[in-house]
Structure formats: structure tokens, C-alpha cells
Amino acid sequence: MRVGTFKTQNITKKTSLTPTLYLHVQTNKGNAIISVRGFAAIRAAEKPKREKKPEEPVPLLVTPQWLQEHLKFGRVKVIDASYALGENMHAQYSTKRIPTSMYFDIDQVADVTTTDLPHMLPKPIPYEKEMEALGLTHKEHVVLYDRSGEYVASARAWWMMFTFGHKKLSVLEGGLPAWIKANGSVETGPPPPRRERVTYKAGRYKSRLNREWVADLRLIYQLQDGKGQIVDGRSAARFNGTEEEPRPGVRQGRIPGSVNIPYQEVLTPLGSGPEKTFLPKDKIEELFKSKGIDPDKLVVTSCGSGVTAAVLAMALHSAGKPKFALYDGSWTEYCRTLK
């Protein structure tokens, strides 16, 4: 038998959509047509494509009820990012914490080798090692909280991870006080150990620093004296220089041309306790505009050492105003340049 020309043809029947291959062959007795049904083609034609399930949107703030539900199924990693000047927050974390949470120390997850300024943004590789020590990957949904209920310093940890490109990132609304009021379970006793740090090549956590959200001293020099928009989140007394700075050796004063919006002003109470949430979007925009600040243009947030400045940055982000940068060194760095 000798094979001649061949061609493919689909036959549509009421009972089948099977694609059939027809071979035209030449035999000793004349021409013939042989039909061959392609099994692989049948499978490809009949099996529908599986649509990807859309990912759940990542909210900036999550309620205690939301976190309780998601913790049941292990869908999130929880981080305690509490901080208070002069207090041992790690000891408090060891006494009372949300179950499964790990502790994020902004003085440890920081640049401790090239500067003596407190809790400055770390370099990428040390940062990645710290995230690996917390057992994180960039694909996981992380929920941050703090003990103050006013996002000090969960907002700072949020800004740091946000700046390093972690996309699945939320903050617990009202922090630990709101969690306890919502009858969330509390874990006590020695906390779980941190993961052993690994080498950079073995690390699972990969970051990508976005410098647009980081302001340095050079940018401040360009924007000071009213040439740009610098917003200070300290109290009015500290901003006006009528109250001593809490850090030893830090003089009183403010950046020339900066505007004062104490960080508490972007917050509103959730109840009778210390727990708070952010103002509605329109109220945040109204607040900034009342101080002569256009939130649709670049806003640089500052404070004493870059902690409560992150609350202002987070407020802008919650209001859909992405043009912000946090002055990492803040007043602690700037005052060193003064004579």
C-alpha cells in the first residue's frame, strides 16, 4: 500500500464534535480513503479551559472579625509591630499577643551598620534575611498590628514592607485593643522561636525597593522653606518648640516651611477605648487641604524619627493619594544639620 495525499476535515454530527483525519491512500485495487480519529484532538476540543479564580482583594485595614475568620484556615501571617520609646515591647509581646503572631522589632529590622539614627530603613539584603527569619515569603498575606490601637508602629512596619514591594499587606483596625474587645483569643507564655537566618542565596524572600516612597535629606533641602509640601506628624507643642523632644540630644524646632498635622488628627475613635481607625477619605483630603496641603501632589511626611510620620503616609494611602514619601531621618536627622 502506498500513501498518497492527505488532508484533515472536521465532521459535525448531532452526537459528536469529533475531529477526524482523512488519509487518501492508493492500493493495488485502486484508491481508498481511511479515516483516523485523533484522541488528543478530541480531549483538547472537549475539555474546557479552567478559568483562574480571581484573587481576593487585599484590604488596607481588616477588622478583628475578618482576621479571626482568616486565621481559622491559616490564610494570613500575623505580625506584632508594637513600639514605644523607652519601653520593652518585646516583653509585652511575650506576655500577651494574637495567636501565631511573630514580633517585628523596628529597631532590629533596620539599618544598624551605616547610621546611628534610630530604626532607619534597612538595606535590601539584611531586610530580606529578617523577613526570612520571620518565616515570610513575598506571596503571603501579612496582617500587622500594634498594642497602641493608633497604628504606632504598625504603620511604620506597613510603610517599610510596602516600600520593599510586599503587595499582600494589611493592618488590623484598632490593633490589639480592638482584637480583645472583639473577644479574639490571646496567647500567653514564651513566644514561638524565630526561624534561623539563612544566607541571601538561600532566602525565599525577595524584595524590590521603591525609592519614590522614601525621602532623604537632599529632597528635604529642595522642598523646605515652602518650596514643597512637608507635613510633620508630631504634637503641636513639639512642632512649635515649646516642649522638649523625648530623645536625648535632639533639639527643639521644626523643618523650615513644614506644616503640622499631629498624627492623631487623621484618626477617629472606634469606641470608648484607645482603638481608632482612619478618617473617611473625604475627611482626610479636607484636613490636608485645610492646612494648605494639596494631597494630589507630592506630600513628604515627617515626625521625630519616622514612626508617626508613617501614620500620615498610611492615611494618605487610605484616601487614595499615592503621591507621598516618608522622610526616614525626620527631625532627629535634620536638627543635626543646624548650627
Q: Give the integer Cα–Cα distance in Å for 166 and 140.
A: 9
What is residue 91's predicted lDDT score, i.e. its pLDDT? 93
Same domain, 182 and 262: no
What is residue 42's predicted lDDT score, i.e. its pLDDT? 47
Tally of CB atoms within 10 A around 53: 6
What is residue 237's predicted lDDT score, i.e. its pLDDT? 98
Higher pLDDT, 168 or 53: 168
Query: What percent of the chain clears pLDDT 70, i.e. is strictly above it?
Result: 81
Same domain, 74 and 202: yes
56 part of a folded domain: no
Same domain, 131 and 186: yes
Mean pLDDT of the chain: 88
Same domain, 332 and 234: yes
Contact 239, 252 (CB under 8 A): no
Which of the listed residues 209, 226, 261 is the one where a domain comes to its end?
209
Each residue's pLDDT tens digit, 28-72 = 666 665 555 554 444 545 556 666 666 678 999 999 999 999 999
Each residue's pLDDT tens digit, 244-275 = 999 999 999 999 999 999 999 999 999 888 99
What is residue 270's predicted lDDT score, i.e. its pLDDT? 93
What is residue 138's predicted lDDT score, i.e. its pLDDT? 86
Report the CATH number that the domain containing residue 189 is assigned in CATH: 3.40.250.10
Same domain, 224 and 131: no
Same domain, 13 and 69: no
Q: Of the given ranges (4-8, 127-131, 193-197, 272-276), which has the lowest mean pLDDT?
A: 4-8
Q: What is the pLDDT averaged over residues 196-219?
A: 83
What is residue 32's predicted lDDT score, i.e. its pLDDT? 61
What is residue 198's predicted lDDT score, i.e. its pLDDT? 59
Same domain, 82 and 199: yes
Query: What percent of the chain clears pLDDT 90, i.e. is strictly above it?
Result: 73
Same domain, 254 and 144: no
Which of the listed residues 209, 236, 253 is the one where a domain comes to its end?
209
Put simply, whether the predicted model's pTM sits higher than 0.95 gets the answer: no
What is residue 15's predicted lDDT score, i.e. its pLDDT? 46
Higher pLDDT, 15 or 261: 261
53 part of a folded domain: no
Contact 279, 315 (CB under 8 A): yes
Assess whether 335 carries a catalytic annotation: no
Which residues make Cβ contacts (< 8 Å) with residue 47, sequence separation at least 6?
none
Same domain, 176 and 283: no
Q: Which of 303, 311, 314, 325 is catalytic?
A: 303
Whether 206 has a pLDDT exceeding 60, the answer reads: yes
Same domain, 123 and 263: no
What is residue 13's predicted lDDT score, i.e. its pLDDT? 44
Q: What is the pLDDT averaged over residues 180-191?
A: 93
What residue numbers bound the domain in which 12 lies?
2-46
262 part of a folded domain: yes
Vertex 13: Cα angle to 11 and 19 (nearest 5)? 35
In the chain, the number of structural domains is 3
Q: Of the given ranges (203-207, 247-251, 330-334), which has the lowest mean pLDDT?
A: 203-207
Which residues make Cβ contacts (< 8 Å) with residue 12, sequence separation at least 6?
none
Contact 84, 152 (CB under 8 A): yes
Which residues make Cβ contacts (< 8 Å) with residue 213, sequence separation at least 6?
159, 162, 163, 313, 324, 325, 326
Each residue's pLDDT tens digit, 293-326 = 999 999 999 999 999 999 999 999 999 999 999 9
What is residue 6's predicted lDDT score, i.e. its pLDDT? 44
